[in-house]
Amino acid sequence: GAGVSQSPSNKVTEKGKDVELRCDPISGHTALYWYRQSLGQGLEFLIYFQGNSAPDKSGLPSDRFSAERTGGSVSTLTIQRTQQEDSAVYLCASSLGGSWNTGELFFGEGSRLTVL
Amino acid sequence: GDSVTQMEGPVTLSEEAFLTINCTYTATGYPSLFWYVQYPGEGLQLLLKATKADDKGSNKGFEATYRKETTSFHLEKGSVQVSDSAVYFCALRGSGTYKYIFGTGTRLKVLA
């Protein structure tokens, strides 16, 4: 597709279950970001990928959160043993990266996670 | 660390009113500054940007000027429309870094 695609768009889960959120960036975009948007809060940085490597994981809230990116394309954010405070919209964004980066992030529509 | 502070909303205006949404930042060096907009049911999209001091970004009638002396990047529009109703996010990317720091967002509602 032409844009950043995220799935699922909505996920309701029970406390303690694991969830996986998927992001398919724009083809050719080497940089990929995950953010979390909670009600009334701004966008909270979670992790950044350049290619398949993640030089900055500093935003991951706890060791229950992990992310990977394979083939320099699709990324998966995994939350283990979900808690109610994990409820939020998880946003993925991609950009060209590198010295030719225009500075524009292209966002997906997000995955809304609700933990009961 | 770097941070962005923007005015809290919601902001409610009548159509054709003048809009200002304040944004100030804290950063070392010379960050790039951005305004993103999120229309209802859509993902965030870039509205405008400025990459150096005194630059003015503009798009769709919106403008913002990079003011280093006041560390500000206020968003303005001379005459808002109902279709401008959205959430607006101010953001920065520090010089030499890849991380984008976002403000908390300001919800704008324009009434006909």
What is the average pLDDT across A84-98? 91
pLDDT at A97 > cutoff 80? no
Under 8 Å between Cβ of B81 and B24: no
pLDDT at B20 > cutoff 80? yes
pLDDT bucket at B85, cuts 50 / 70 / 90: very high
What is the average pLDDT across B6-30? 94
Contacts of A97 (CB under 8 A, 6+ apart): A29, A30, A31, A50, B98
Interface of B with A (CB under 8 A): 4, 32, 34, 36, 41-46, 49, 51, 89, 91, 93, 98-105
What is the average pLDDT across A84-89? 96
Q: pLDDT value at position A1?
A: 54
Give the C-alpha separation, B72 to B35, whole Å: 12
Q: Give how far Cα A6 sits from Cα of B15, B33, B82, B104, Å.
A: 34, 26, 29, 22
pLDDT bucket at A20, cuts 50 / 70 / 90: very high
Q: pLDDT value at position B91?
A: 95
pLDDT bucket at A2, cuts 50 / 70 / 90: confident
pLDDT bucket at B94, cuts 50 / 70 / 90: confident
- Computed over every residue of chain A, the mean pLDDT equals 91
Q: pLDDT value at position A104?
A: 86
Give the C-alpha separation, B104 to B107, whole Å: 10
Give the C-alpha separation, A36 to B86, whole Å: 19
Q: With an 8 Å Cβ cutoff, are B43 and A33 in contact? A: no
Q: pLDDT value at position A101?
A: 61
Return the structure tokens found at B112.
Answer: 């006909």
**Sequence-ordered strand ranges (E) for B7-83:** 11-14, 19-21, 23-26, 32-38, 45-50, 56-59, 62-65, 75-77
The upper half-sphere exposure of residue A107, i.e. CA atoms within 13 Å in the direction of its Cβ, equals 23
pLDDT at A44 > cutoff 90? yes
Q: With an 8 Å Cβ cutoff, are B43 and A103 in contact? A: no
